[in-house]
């Protein structure tokens, strides 16, 4: 959900090589519709110039509490009062220690201390060497900062600038952006567990060939992201797709309809909401050759016979938990024509309270879509928009119906 549009953020940089990612983060925040006031510590200026951050944010950067631009000479008060949040990225080990002790010997820490704690959340993205991160002093500081209502983002894992490998690097700009969007999103599904199926399935003919379809999984992944941002615990069961997993979403990769069926059976018992967006293959080849089927010299073509795959959604929707209201099921219908008629019939056939219709050929692989929501009361159109915006609207519609 783009909850950052219209928000005003103070982006604080403390000293660390991850300052280079703060440049990209600043750009991403502006692109998401936020306004950004950058504040840098002395140490940060060793890693990044204020000129770069000014150019990206479109505002002169503040670096000193003695900055005389403010008429009352109280930049720490003025800048923190107008902010919707202060985001410190990167937050060095030293800066976290300073926050913990309420020290205020530079503008950024002074501003964090001076912020109205109940109105201006403080969000920090730690960035440091793995040993510094693992040190009990840092871990103690992080635990206490969380207890003090500072929102501490996760750290990334992998190669570090120092040549070591481990936990402690700062999250990538896009990951921080997604976490910030989630931070501001209304928690419509707090406490709920959501299971989503997404993408196509692949039905093997032999070890190198198979039958699949053009579903990209984008709509399902957007729904998983929207549900997570709305506060739900989310698992996505994905057919073969090449998409990044949304932040905080658990992902189970499967290949065939039968794999997806088995994964859904084990996961759905914990869910309160099941959203079936996957374009599940209706049939699979009756037999699967162990070896590649070769052409024969006479030009005979192989004869394929099919058997029907289990209908995953229908099975779940007809379970006791769904029928007695403990599990809310949402189906999708990918049609090529007569959307309303097909979606209405499919909703009744599958016995789901809500069925979402879309025109398959005009949405598969695209970044946008148009949806038709069909329930017992009738049909509502969600006009063409990005799949993420539609996913956010759909999650709000589901929350309303629970």
Provide the annotated active-site residues: 162
Among the listed residues 13, 142, 145, 278, the single contact to ligand CTP using CB under 6 A: 278
C-alpha 328/C-alpha 230 separation (Å) is: 16
Among the listed residues 206, 311, 375, 389, the single contact to ligand CTP using CB under 6 A: 311
Interacting span for ligand CTP (CB under 6 A) from 61-69, 85-93, 116-124, 311-319: 311-319
Burial class of residue 44, CB neighbours in 10 A (0-12, 13-18, 19+): buried
Name the minimum Å distance from CB 281 to ligand CTP: 7
Name the minimum Å distance from CB 344 to ligand CTP: 13
Regarding 263 and contact with ligand CTP (CB under 6 A), the answer is no
Which residue, 10 or 339, has its beta carbon nearer to ligand CTP?
339
Among the listed residues 257, 354, 371, 398, the single contact to ligand CTP using CB under 6 A: 257
Name the minimum Å distance from CB 251 to ligand CTP: 17
Name the minimum Å distance from CB 65 to ligand CTP: 57
The three-state (H, E, C) secondary structure of the chain, written as one string: CCCCCCCEEEEEECCCCCHHHHHHHHHHHHHCCCEEEEEECHHHHHHCCHHHHHHHHCCCCECCCCCCCCCCCCHHHHHHHCCCEEEEEEECHHHHHHHHHCCCCCHHHHHHHHCCCCCCCEEEEECCCHHHHHCHHHHHHHHHHHHCCCEECCCEEEECCCCCEEEEECCCHHHHHHHHHHHHCCCCCCCCEEEEEECECCEEEECCEEECCCCCCHHHHHHHHHHHHCCCEEEEEECCCCCCCCCCCEEEECCCHHHHHHHHHHHHHHCCEEEECCECCCEEECCCCCCCCCCCCCCCCCCCCEEECCCHHHHHHCCHHHHCCCCEEEEEEEECCCHHHHHHHHHHHHCCCEEEEEEHHHCCCCCEEEEEEEECCEEEEEEEEEHHHHHHHHHHHHHHHC
Among the listed residues 312, 322, 339, 391, the single contact to ligand CTP using CB under 6 A: 312
Name the minimum Å distance from CB 144 to ligand CTP: 46
Among the listed residues 18, 85, 271, 276, the single contact to ligand CTP using CB under 6 A: 276
Among the listed residues 171, 196, 280, 395, the single contact to ligand CTP using CB under 6 A: 280
Name the minimum Å distance from CB 282 to ligand CTP: 5
Which residue, 259 or 311, has its beta carbon nearer to ligand CTP?
311
Residue 87 has phi, psi (to 5 degrees) of -115, 115
Instruction: Please measure the distance between the N-terminal and C-terminal CA atoms of the chain and give it in whole angstroms.
Output: 20
In sequence order, the 6+-apart residues with CB closer than 8 A to the CB of 350 are 311, 313, 314, 317, 329, 331
Among the listed residues 42, 164, 282, 367, the single contact to ligand CTP using CB under 6 A: 282
Among the listed residues 313, 317, 373, 399, the single contact to ligand CTP using CB under 6 A: 313
Which residue, 133 or 332, has its beta carbon nearer to ligand CTP?
332
* Touching ligand CTP, residues 340-379 (CB under 6 A): 346
Residue 188 structure tokens? 């419509």
Among the listed residues 334, 339, 371, 372, the single contact to ligand CTP using CB under 6 A: 334
Which residue, 15 or 210, has its beta carbon nearer to ligand CTP?
210
Which residue, 76 or 346, has its beta carbon nearer to ligand CTP?
346
Which residue, 141 or 277, has its beta carbon nearer to ligand CTP?
277
Name the minimum Å distance from CB 280 to ligand CTP: 4
Which residue, 128 or 395, has its beta carbon nearer to ligand CTP?
395
- x/- letters, 178..217, toward ligand CTP (CB under 6 A): -------------------x--------------------
Residues that bind ligand CTP (CB under 6 A): 197, 257, 276, 278, 280, 282, 309, 311-313, 331-334, 346
């Amino acid at each position: 959900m783009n909850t950052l549009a219209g928000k005003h953020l103070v982006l604080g940089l403390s000293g660390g090589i991850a300052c280079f990612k703060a440049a990209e983060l600043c750009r991403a925040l502006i692109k998401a519709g936020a306004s950004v006031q950058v504040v840098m510590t002395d140490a940060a200026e060793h890693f990044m110039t204020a000129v770069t951050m000014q150019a990206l944010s479109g505002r002169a950067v503040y670096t000193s509490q003695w900055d005389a631009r403010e008429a009352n000479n109280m930049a720490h008060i003025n800048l923190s009062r107008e902010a919707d949040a202060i985001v410190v990225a990167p937050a060095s080990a030293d800066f976290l220690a300073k926050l913990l002790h309420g020290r205020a010997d530079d503008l950024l820490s002074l501003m964090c201390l001076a912020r109205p704690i109940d109105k201006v959340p403080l969000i920090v993205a730690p960035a440091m060497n793995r040993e510094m991160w693992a040190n009990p002093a840092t871990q103690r500081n992080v635990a206490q900062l969380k207890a003090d209502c500072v929102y501490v983002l996760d750290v990334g894992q992998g190669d570090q600038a120092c040549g070591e490998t481990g936990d402690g690097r700062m999250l990538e700009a896009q990951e921080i952006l997604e976490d910030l969007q989630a931070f501001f999103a209304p928690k419509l599904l707090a406490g709920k567990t959501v299971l989503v199926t997404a993408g196509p399935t692949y039905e093997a003919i032999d070890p190198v060939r198979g039958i699949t379809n053009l579903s990209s999984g984008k709509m399902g992944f957007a729904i998983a992201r929207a549900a997570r941002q709305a506060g739900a615990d989310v698992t996505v069961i994905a057919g073969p797709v090449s998409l990044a997993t949304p932040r905080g979403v658990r992902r189970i990769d499967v290949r065939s309809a039968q794999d997806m069926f088995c994964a859904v059976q084990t996961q759905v018992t914990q869910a309160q909401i099941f959203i079936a967006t996957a374009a599940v293959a209706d049939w699979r080849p009756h037999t699967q050759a162990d070896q590649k089927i070769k052409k024969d010299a006479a030009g005979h073509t192989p004869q394929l016979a099919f058997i029907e795959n289990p209908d995953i959604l229908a099975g779940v929707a007809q379970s006791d938990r769904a029928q007695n209201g403990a599990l809310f099921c949402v189906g999708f219908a990918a049609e090529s024509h007569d959307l309303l008629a097909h979606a209405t019939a499919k909703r009744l056939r599958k016995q789901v309270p809500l069925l979402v219709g879309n025109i398959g050929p005009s949405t598969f692989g695209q970044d946008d879509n148009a949806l038709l929501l069909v329930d017992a009361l009738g049909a509502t159109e969600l006009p063409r928009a990005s799949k993420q915006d539609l996913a956010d609207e759909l999650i709000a519609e589901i929350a309303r119906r629970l």
